[in-house]
């Protein structure tokens, strides 16, 4: 990690008050750490927009009794095997399953796979959590 540099900045009073309220609510130890993480969030968004190599997690909730669904979900992941690192399956109850798919690769390919998984009949919810390889965040 790089050494810390100090800088000062000008900000409107109402905005500064909103920042103070957000920091207090978030339980961050200090304003600097809060702003650093806010900036990193923005950098991760930029990595995804720029189609860089990223890390992401897809979470699916589905009914495994939907005809052919398990097979279709597996087939889609095999088709994108180059971005799938691992997956974990949890049986939520008699019918429902949750599957977490850990991915790493070009942002556009991960988004495409997430979109295709989401569209399958019987998938009740699909979320894509955007993260980073961390190389540009230090
Ligand atoms: Ni299951």
pTM of the model: 0.88
User: What is the rounded CA–CA span in Å between residue 92 and residue 47?
Assistant: 33
Residue 90 Cα to ligand 1 midpoint, Å, equals: 6
Per-residue pLDDT of the chain (138 residues; tens, 9 = 90+): 678 899 999 999 999 999 999 999 999 999 999 999 999 999 999 999 999 999 999 999 999 999 999 999 999 999 999 999 999 999 999 999 999 999 999 999 999 999 999 999 999 999 999 999 999 887
Both 64 and 127 in one domain: the answer is yes
- Alpha-carbon Rg for the chain in angstroms: 20
Both 34 and 65 in one domain: the answer is no
Residue 70 Cα to ligand 1 midpoint, Å, equals: 9
Q: How far is CA 80 from the centre of its chain?
A: 18
Both 44 and 77 in one domain: the answer is no
Q: Is residue 5 part of a domain?
A: no
Name residues with Cβ closer than 5 Å to ligand 1, which is an ion: 91, 97
Which residues, 6+ apart, have CB-to-CB distance to 137 below 8 Å? 40, 43, 44
Residue 77 Cα to ligand 1 midpoint, Å, equals: 16
Residue 17 Cα to ligand 1 midpoint, Å, equals: 47
Both 63 and 91 in one domain: the answer is yes
Dihedral sign of CA atoms 19, 20, 26, 29 in order = positive
Q: Could you tell me the residue range of the domain that residue 91 belongs to?
A: 53-132
């Amino acid at each position: 990690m790089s050494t810390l540099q100090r800088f000062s900045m000008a900000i409107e009073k109402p905005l500064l008050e909103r920042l103070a309220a957000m920091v207090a609510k978030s339980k961050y130890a200090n304003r600097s750490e809060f702003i650093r993480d806010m900036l990193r969030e923005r950098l991760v968004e930029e990595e995804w927009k720029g189609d860089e190599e990223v890390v992401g997690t897809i979470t699916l909730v589905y009914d495994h009794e939907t005809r052919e669904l398990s097979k279709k979900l597996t087939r889609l992941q095999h088709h994108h095997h180059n971005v799938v690192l691992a997956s974990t399956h949890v049986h939520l109850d008699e019918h429902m399953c949750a599957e977490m798919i850990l991915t790493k690769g070009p942002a556009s390919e991960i988004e495409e796979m997430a979109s295709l998984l989401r569209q399958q009949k019987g998938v009740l919810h699909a979320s894509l959590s955007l993260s980073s390889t961390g190389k540009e965040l230090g």
